[in-house]
Amino acid sequence: PGDTPDNTCIQWGRLRGALFSLFRVCMSLCLSPLALEAVAALNQAECAAITTQCKRGPDSPSIMFNGDVIGEETLPAGAFVEIIHESIANIIKKRDQSALSDQEAKRHTDDCVLALSKSRDVLRVFMLPYPEATGHDDARPSICEAWFFAVTSAITSYKNSTPISDIFGNAIFTELLGETCLAAVQMLFIRSIEKEVSMSTGMSVDGAQTLATIDFLEAALSLGPEMLSLIYQYTGPHVTLDHSAKTALESAPTPTVHAGGALIGAALYRAASGCWPPWGLEGSPQIYSALFYGACGLDTDLFCQIMEAAAEIRLASSPDAGCGAIRPGMKLAGKYFDQMGPKTKEDLMRQIIKICHQNDASGWRRMKVVLKQACGGKKKASGFNQKPSLTDWDCERL
């Protein structure tokens, strides 16, 4: 086929929109396992198509991923992941209205999570190491956004209908949660703090996918210290730490909690240093307050130990120890922490302790200022866009 969509492709795009609308109508009742099986199959097929397109190169044209078939002007990629997200949101609504019991809400959420598990190729898609597309509509940002929102909704639904301990006893969801956390961390580790370099590696973060990631991290960290252990379980094998850093974490009172906290903390320091757009800092209060309230259980000492470790951990010096954009021997948190002197670090920790003791909305909002000061100040001419709107999934215009 040529590189310009013909009428057949355009009609296929309309059929895709009609199918999306049909699934939405079916949500008046919870989607059946058979319907969710079909949704998962559609997600698998879309992931295969996105992977093929990415491998053709960022400047390659596409008869599918463009404004006429799949894109912002029609129905974006990830539409059927969005169906799972909306299905879970509908379960939450029905449970809140007492139209579903806790047991029924959990059962229907289990069905949706199974569909997500069968759609896990999405995680591989938005981690593909190809630059942002220029010759076609990049499908990765919208499918990434839909994924993070779907997993966030699943966390909310389970928290509403079952004890948190049962969530970590759910093998399918725990694995999904761990893999999604790994993706969120890796998205920050593979990006350079220098934007002109980071643009050459991986999907852009300058869009609603980052808003969805922020919501996911807040929800995940609210699940308690087990979440930090899970982050370490899934992220730890991908990071070769310096021996002294590894020894320090292993000797901590709760080694896996401290290690997982240090890894997510270092990733968040990178986000504030320039791996996320400047507007991403607006999500800092909700993420760090969730880390303090949920993952650290209001334990100021644990929170500060994690934040201090996050500022210190570095990769081993061996040539093969590199991790994404982080070179061997360098700190995971990025160049501003490599350059940070003892006095600056002491001041940072002193301000963090003060925020924990204050422990209110005003204090956590101040975390934005503290991070900005520690991570190089205001980023002038960052090249990022203004804060985006969420993806519009309305396909009636088709």
Q: What is the pLDDT of residues 160-209, one digit of tens each?
A: 999 999 999 999 999 999 999 999 999 999 998 875 454 557 899 999 99
Kindly state the helix (H) or strand (E) to which residue 350 belongs, with its residue range: helix 342-358
Q: Report the pLDDT value the prediction gives residue 161, as an integer from 0 to 100.
A: 94
Alpha-carbon dihedral sign for residues 77, 119, 231, 362:
positive
Q: Report the pLDDT value the prediction gives residue 362, as an integer from 0 to 100.
A: 94
Give the mean pLDDT of 59-85. 93
What's the pLDDT tens digit per position in 207-220?
999 999 999 999 99
What's the pLDDT tens digit per position in 259-299?
999 999 999 999 999 999 999 999 999 999 999 999 999 99
Q: Report the pLDDT value the prediction gives residue 193, as an integer from 0 to 100.
A: 84
Neighbouring-strand partners of residue 315 = 241
Which DSSP state fits 391? P
CA distance 94 to 103: 12
Residue 301 has pLDDT above 60, yes or no: yes
The string of DSSP letters for 233-246 reads HHHGGG--B-HHHH
Of residues 7 and 112, the one with the higher pLDDT is 112
Q: Report the pLDDT value the prediction gives residue 354, as an integer from 0 to 100.
A: 96
Can you list the positions of beta strands (E) in 311-375? none
What's the pLDDT tens digit per position in 95-132?
999 999 999 999 999 999 999 999 999 999 999 999 99
Confidence of residue 382 (pLDDT cuts 50, 70, 90): low
CA distance 189 to 187: 6
CA distance 324 to 73: 33
Give the mean pLDDT of 50-55. 95
Q: Residue 296: how many CA atoms within 13 Å on its side-chain side?
A: 25
Whole-number percent of the chain with pLDDT over 70: 96
Whole-number percent of the chain with pLDDT over 90: 85
CA distance 65 to 113: 27
Q: Report the pLDDT value the prediction gives residue 5, as an integer from 0 to 100.
A: 76
Q: Report the pLDDT value the prediction gives residue 73, as an integer from 0 to 100.
A: 85
Of residues 235 and 398, the one with the higher pLDDT is 235
Place of tokens 């644990």: 302
Q: What's the farthest any 2 CA atoms get from each other in the chain? A: 65
Burial class (CB in 10 A: 0-12, 13-18, 19+), 214: buried
CA distance 47 to 171: 24
Q: What value does the CA radius of gyration of the chain take, rounded to a whole number of Å?
A: 21
Q: Residue 131: how many CA atoms within 13 Å on its side-chain side?
A: 13
Q: Which amino acid is at 128?
A: L
CB-based contact 106:161 (threshold 8 Å)? yes
Give how far Cα 3 sits from Cα of 6, 13, 65, 287, Å. Answer: 9, 16, 10, 43
CA distance 374 to 308: 13
Alpha-carbon dihedral sign for residues 162, 165, 166, 167:
positive
Q: Report the pLDDT value the prediction gives residue 64, as an integer from 0 to 100.
A: 92
